[in-house]
Amino acid sequence: MSKKDDQKSTQVWVDGCFDMVHFGHANAIRQAKQMGNYLIVGVHSDDEIAKHKGPPVFSEKERYKMVRAIKWVDEVVEDAPYVTTLEFLDKFNCDFCVHGDDITTTADGTDTYHLVKNAGRYKECRRTEGVSTTDIVGRMLLMTRTHHLGPEKINKDTVGAISQDHSTRSPWTGVSQFLPTTKKIIQFAEGKEPSPGDRIVYVAGAFDLFHVGHCDFLEKAAAEGDFVIVGLHTDQDVNHYKGANNPIMNLHERVLSVLACRYVSEVVIGAPYSVTADLMDHFKVDLVCHGKTPVMPDEDGSDPYAEPKRRHKFKILDSANDLTTQSIVERIIRNRLDYEARNKKKNEKELNIIKQLKNHKIA
């Protein structure tokens, strides 16, 4: 199980629910990997999560697969204990455990890392501001509201409000609190160019709420070549072809989520909806792939994949996974009361712990 072959090697342990795996999880994993040579990630079972937090959105099998697809992960341990123990660290030859600087507790309010903290085998990484599973679930619970508006529905008052907002909010992703920086994108990007002779594969889409269905598709795409480029459509384009309150994650959030995937080599930020000759020539694309989901025509009624089809460089891939962003939203809406109760319970526990810590400092 261990890859620790010499005394100089540092083996790191990270654990968590990793429900609704997002770029915040990926960033914590990235930071943990920088603290050592080999990273082992423990993922809690459905039963453990239900006991301590409430029902998970994704099944344990889906969550195991998602974590394995994060490019900084060397090994995944399934059914990891909710309370991190010294025995588990020793079992996998881990020097220490890493967790974000947020609060994680058991059902009775106990710090899940108190054992490793007391033993001096705990290190913290910085939590990524502006995103959390609770936050994303909250966004989906707002799906029936009009926080996303298409361009044709924006009145003058709305435009005025948007122009005064200097955050990353937009009419399409009005609930996002994430503030992107070039540094964060560079940290997530590999920065590697394709090697001479590499077969370059291009795929495009929204990749909203990056999930295991996306991972399965990208794994299939990676098997078609050596260098996978993902074109991410703008929020406006995604809203145009998906409608309603889509996308749930804004463009910059989607960029980081996709960049964290081990099957992805490069991302085109705000890629054109139609795959043009210029795009294919610029990136020297050998093959353009798309999944089995329906393709909406471009605004002029044309086929967005007409050019790669004309060049005989287009292929439909069957990921054998029918999970979609919409089906995830439906899971949330179907269990709305359970998730609302879960979010409320989590917030109450955290506020209680913060209050206790403040009282302790005063004393």
The pLDDT value recorded for residue 178 is 62
Does 208 reside within a domain?
A: yes
Q: Residue 41 maps to which CATH number?
A: 3.40.50.620
Total number of domains constituting the chain: 2
Is residue 186 located within the same domain as residue 73? no
Q: What's the CA gap between 107 and 342, in Å, rounded?
A: 11
Rg (C-alpha) for the chain, rounded Å, is 22
pLDDT value at 156 more than 90 = no
pLDDT value at 347 more than 80 = no
The pLDDT value recorded for residue 134 is 72
Alpha helix ranges (H) inside the chain: 23-34, 46-52, 60-68, 86-91, 114-118, 133-141, 156-163, 182-188, 212-222, 235-242, 251-259, 277-282, 306-310, 325-334, 336-362
In a 13 Å sphere around the CA of 134, the CA atoms on its Cβ side amount to 17
Who has greater pLDDT, 58 or 143? 58
Does 358 reside within a domain?
A: no
The pLDDT value recorded for residue 233 is 97
Who has greater pLDDT, 21 or 39? 39
Who has greater pLDDT, 112 or 168? 112
Tell me which of 50-64, 69-83, 127-141, 222-236 is least confident. 127-141
Is residue 22 located within the same domain as residue 167? no
The pLDDT value recorded for residue 244 is 78
Overall residue count recorded for the chain in this entry: 363
> What are 107's two structure tokens?
């059902």
Tell me which of 46-60, 64-78, 101-115, 236-250 is least confident. 101-115
Is residue 173 located within the same domain as residue 31? no
- Among 316, 337, 358, the domain boundary falls at 316
Q: What's the CA gap between 87 and 98, in Å, rounded?
A: 16
Is residue 99 located within the same domain as residue 248? no
Is residue 75 located within the same domain as residue 151? no
Do 250 and 168 contact (CB within 8 A), yes or no?
yes
In what helix (H) or strand (E) does residue 22 lie, and over which residues does it extend? none
User: Residue 295 CB: number of other CB atoms within 10 A?
Assistant: 13
Is residue 114 located within the same domain as residue 179? no
pLDDT value at 161 more than 70 = no
Is residue 294 located within the same domain as residue 180? yes
Task: Report the DSSP pairing between strands 227-232 and 266-269.
Answer: parallel
The pLDDT value recorded for residue 3 is 59
Does 142 reside within a domain?
A: yes
Characterise 20 by phi-psi region: left (phi > 0), alpha (psi -120 to 50), beta (else): left
Q: What is the pLDDT of residues 295-346, one digit of tens each?
A: 999 999 999 999 999 999 999 999 999 999 888 888 877 776 676 666 666 6
Does 203 reside within a domain?
A: yes
Is residue 169 located within the same domain as residue 45? no
Q: How far is CA 261 from each of CA 43, 90, 242, 252, 267, rounded to the nearest angstrom? A: 17, 29, 23, 15, 11
Burial of 9 (0-12, 13-18, 19+ CB in 10 A): middle
The pLDDT value recorded for residue 160 is 35
Mean pLDDT of the chain: 84
Residue 111 domain boundaries:
11-128
Is residue 77 located within the same domain as residue 178? no
Which residues pair with residue 214 across a beta bridge? Answer: none
Is residue 165 located within the same domain as residue 89? no
Does 115 reside within a domain?
A: yes
- Among 75, 110, 128, the domain boundary falls at 128
The pLDDT value recorded for residue 2 is 56
The DSSP output letter for 9 is -
Does 330 reside within a domain?
A: no
Angle at 56 between CA 261 and CA 34, to 5 degrees: 35
Q: Which residues contact 232 (CB under 8 A, 6 or more apart)?
A: 204, 205, 206, 207, 251, 254, 255, 258, 267, 268, 269, 270, 271
pLDDT value at 354 more than 70 = no
> What are 169's two structure tokens?
């909010």
- Among 275, 294, 316, the domain boundary falls at 316
The pLDDT value recorded for residue 339 is 63
The DSSP output letter for 151 is G
Is residue 57 located within the same domain as residue 201? no
pLDDT-derived band at 248 (thresholds 50, 70, 90) equals confident
Q: For a pLDDT cut of 90, what percent of the chain falls above it?
A: 57
Is residue 225 located within the same domain as residue 98? no
The helix-helix angle for 336-362 and 133-141 (nearest 10°) equals 140
Q: What would the mean pLDDT of 110-135 be, rounded to a whole number?
A: 87
Does 204 reside within a domain?
A: yes
Does 16 reside within a domain?
A: yes
pLDDT value at 290 more than 70 = yes
